[in-house]
Every structure is written in C-alpha cells, then in structure tokens.
C-alpha cells in the first residue's frame, strides 16, 4: 500500500504543480481566457491515461507461464529505467516554475492555443503513463494493496497542491523531490532485482547461484507467513518499497548493488556541479 501511495502522491503532485503553475501564470498575466484550454488538456490527458491503463491491464492479463514471467520482468525493468530517467531529469531542473512559465508565455504571446493544449495534455499524459507502468511494476514485485494506497496518494497530492496554490502554505519543491528521489531510487533498485528474478524464471538470465542466503523465517504451523518473511506483513512492505528479498540469487544482488552505486555516483557528480555553479 505504501508503495502505491508514494508513487501516486509524487506523480499526482507533479501534475498538480504543473497545472498550478500554468493557471497561476495565466491569472497573473490577465490571460484567464486560456483557462478553458488548460482544463480541456487536463481532461484529455486523464482520459487518454485511463484508456492506456485499460489496454495495459488487458495485455497483462493475457499472459501465462513463461510469457507472464517474461512480461513481468520486462515491465519491472522498464519501470526502473523510466523512474531513473525521471529522477535524473529532476536533478537537472534548477527552476521548474520559471522554465514552465516561459514556455506558457511563448505559446500565449503567439496565441498558440493548440500549443498550450498539448503542453498541458502531454504533461498530464506523461504522468499518467508513468503511473500505470510504476503501479504495474509495483504490483508484480509485491502482494500489497497498491490500489488503495494509490487512491490515498492521489487525494493527498490534490489536497497539498490546493494548499500550495490557494493558501499561503509554502513547500520547498527541491527538498520534496530530493527526499522522494531517495525512496524512488531504492524502489527502482528493487524493480531491477525483481525483474532479474522474473527473467531468471523465464530462463532468459542464468541463475549462477540460485540462493546466496535464505533468511526467511519458517512458515507458521497454520500455514501463515511470519511478519518478517518476504511474504509476511512487514516483509511484503519492504519487498514492494525497497526490493527486499529473503533468498536472493547472486545476479539479483549484483543488479541491486550495481544500480545503487551507479545512481549514487551520478547524484554525487550532479551535487558537485551544482555547488561549483553556485560558487
């Protein structure tokens, strides 16, 4: 549930901030007549995202056996790659609001209503498609109720977005994304490991060492799983959020560690470059 909450809270808030910045700029520049175009773009993006989610779920439900393992493995690794590109993109943004306002100003000054529509439409659609892939990957990687968490995440993000733009509540966007980036990096590392596991099950990637260790507690006498088992209450949360696995293969471990090391190195270089520019 917590995984779904984090994913949808982040994605929805990102979309809410984009829409809020666009609408605030239109109000500040006395171009309220363009609001209708923004709302049309929002609804079109949401409708297309829902349709895409329907198609994706229909496709996902059509596989079984080895094809299902292959599809799940590819989805999880694709989700990790997409998450990584989103995180790296956010690291490069120094002034998201200013850049977006400049793009809106360019479209409005040229009376390009179509351009403004597609700016909002593509922004909403991107967040929607990302959400579909991330939630599907999270569902494959864990057994938690991510749908309930996702709904709570959407509600919380919409509420926070309302507070930011309608009241005087201030939020450090950079700090918020920096904190959630850390959580999403760990989630993406887990997707890499789980994706590798599924591709090993499909015999696409060799096993080498099937289990490096097995720290899963023994199943209870009534057949239920202890809390710290990877299928138990606590273990399943850690599995979905951080990629926890009580009995990983060697390549799963190597994939998880390699991903963390690469992202940490890239993040470190970005911080050094930012400090040099600030000086």
| Mean pLDDT value of segment 33-57 | 91
Reply yes or no on whether the pLDDT at 203 is more than 80. Answer: yes
How much is the pLDDT for 65? Answer: 82
Query: What is the Cβ-side half-sphere exposure of residue 183, based on CA atoms within 13 angstroms?
Result: 17
* Residue 259: per-residue pLDDT: 95
Q: What integer pLDDT is reported at residue 115 of this predicted model?
A: 83
The full DSSP string for 119-144 is: HHHHHHHHHHHHHHHHHHHHHHH--S
- pTM: predicted TM-score of the whole model, two decimal places: 0.79
pLDDT of residue 275: 55
pLDDT at residue 145, as a whole number: 57
């Amino acid at each position: 549930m917590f995984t779904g909450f984090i994913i949808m809270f982040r994605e929805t808030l990102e979309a809410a901030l984009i829409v809020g910045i666009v609408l605030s700029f239109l109000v500040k520049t006395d171009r309220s007549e363009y609001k209708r175009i923004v709302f049309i773009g929002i609804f079109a993006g949401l409708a297309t995202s829902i349709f895409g989610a329907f198609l994706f779920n229909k496709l996902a439900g059509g596989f079984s056996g080895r094809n299902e393992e292959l599809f799940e493995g590819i989805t999880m690794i694709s989700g990790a790659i997409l998450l990584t590109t989103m995180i790296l993109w956010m690291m490069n943004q120094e002034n998201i609001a200013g850049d977006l306002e400049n793009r809106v100003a360019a479209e409005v000054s040229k009376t390009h209503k179509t351009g403004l529509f597609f700016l909002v439409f593509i922004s909403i659609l991107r967040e929607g498609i990302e959400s579909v892939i991330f939630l599907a990957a999270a569902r494959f990687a864990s057994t938690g109720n991510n749908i309930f968490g996702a709904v709570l995440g959407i509600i919380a993000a919409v509420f926070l977005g309302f507070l930011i733009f309608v009241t005087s509540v201030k939020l450090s966007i950079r700090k918020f994304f920096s904190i959630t980036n850390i959580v999403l990096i760990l989630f993406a590392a887990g997707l890499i490991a789980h994706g590798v596991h599924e591709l090993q099950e499909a015999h696409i990637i060799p096993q080498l060492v099937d289990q490096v260790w097995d720290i899963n507690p023994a199943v209870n006498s009534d057949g239920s799983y202890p809390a710290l088992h990877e299928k138990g209450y606590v273990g399943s949360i850690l599995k979905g959020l951080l990629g926890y696995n009580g009995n990983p293969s060697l390549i799963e471990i190597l994939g998880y560690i390699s991903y963390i090391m690469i992202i940490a190195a890239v993040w470190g270089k970005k911080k050094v470059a930012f400090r040099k520019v600030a000086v």
